[in-house]
Amino acid sequence: MIDAELFIPKSRPRAFIIAVKEGVTLDGLIQAVPSEPFNPRGLVRTAFTVGDDEWVWRSLPVPSGRTALFSDLCERDEP
């Protein structure tokens, strides 16, 4: 689960489901427990409610944060 606000000045949560062929090694790309910001509480609660123990939690680097504001992206007409 990734919210676009981590990258652009607009919040739009998106869920990404990634399928991996059985036998493919994911060394360094997975972690034992979910973590924010990519695994919000609602997603984690759903995963544990379903009770499926085959969820794989991805180990993704947290973006450094956006520096632009929406106003920075708007062009101004100069008289």
Average pLDDT over residues 22-38: 84
Residue 24 has pLDDT above 80, yes or no: yes
Identify whether 28 is part of a domain. yes
Residue 74 belongs to a domain: no
Higher model confidence: residue 67 or residue 21? 21
| Residue predicted with more confidence, 42 or 52 | 42
Instruction: Look at residue 68 and tell me if it is in a domain.
Output: no
pLDDT value of residue 37? 80
Residue 20 lies in a domain: yes
Q: How far is CA 48 from the centre of its chain?
A: 18
Residue 13 is assigned to a structural domain of this protein = yes
* 47 part of a folded domain: yes
| Domain ranges, residue 10 | 1-61
Query: Kind of pairing, strands 13-14 and 57-58?
Result: unpaired
Partners of 13 in the beta sheet?
Answer: 3
Number of domains the chain contains: 1
Mean pLDDT for the stretch of residues 34-58:
82
